[in-house]
Structures are given as structure tokens and as C-alpha cells.
Amino acid sequence: MKFSENTLLIKKCDMPTEMNLHYNAEHNSLKGKYRYDLVYSIDEEVLPDNIFDLWFEEVRRN
């Protein structure tokens, strides 16, 4: 099986576990924040909607 250079590069890079992109239409700008640590744990107390609510509050404050 042959792999292209791009395929090999992708396999060597770490993938972010979380990406937050903020687009400002007024200034036509895009800012990104990336995390590589584990964000979501397998904890029955913390559900995906809890994580979304935390994110939504963070965005609303900024």
C-alpha cells in the first residue's frame, strides 16, 4: 500500500481534543484555540451537555 507524503505527515501529528474557533464578522477575523489534553472524561456525572453549557458560558462572557 502506498501513502502520499501528506498522509504520512497526518499520521505523525497529534490531533487536538478540542478546537474553539471564534469568527468576528465585524472585523472579518478568525481566532482559534486548540487543546491537546484530554477534555472529556468518562464520568457519569459530567455529560456532553454539561461541557457544552460550560463552553457556552465562556463564549458569552467573552
How many domains, the chain? 1
Q: Are 23 and 59 in contact, with CB atoms under 8 Å apart?
A: no
For 5-60, what is each residue's pLDDT tens digit?
555 555 566 788 888 898 999 999 999 999 888 776 667 788 878 888 988 998 89
Torsion angles phi and psi, residue 6, rounded to 5? -65, -40
Q: Say how far apart CA 33 and CA 49 lie, in whole Å.
A: 20
Structural domain harbouring 16: 5-61
Which pTM does this prediction carry? Answer: 0.46
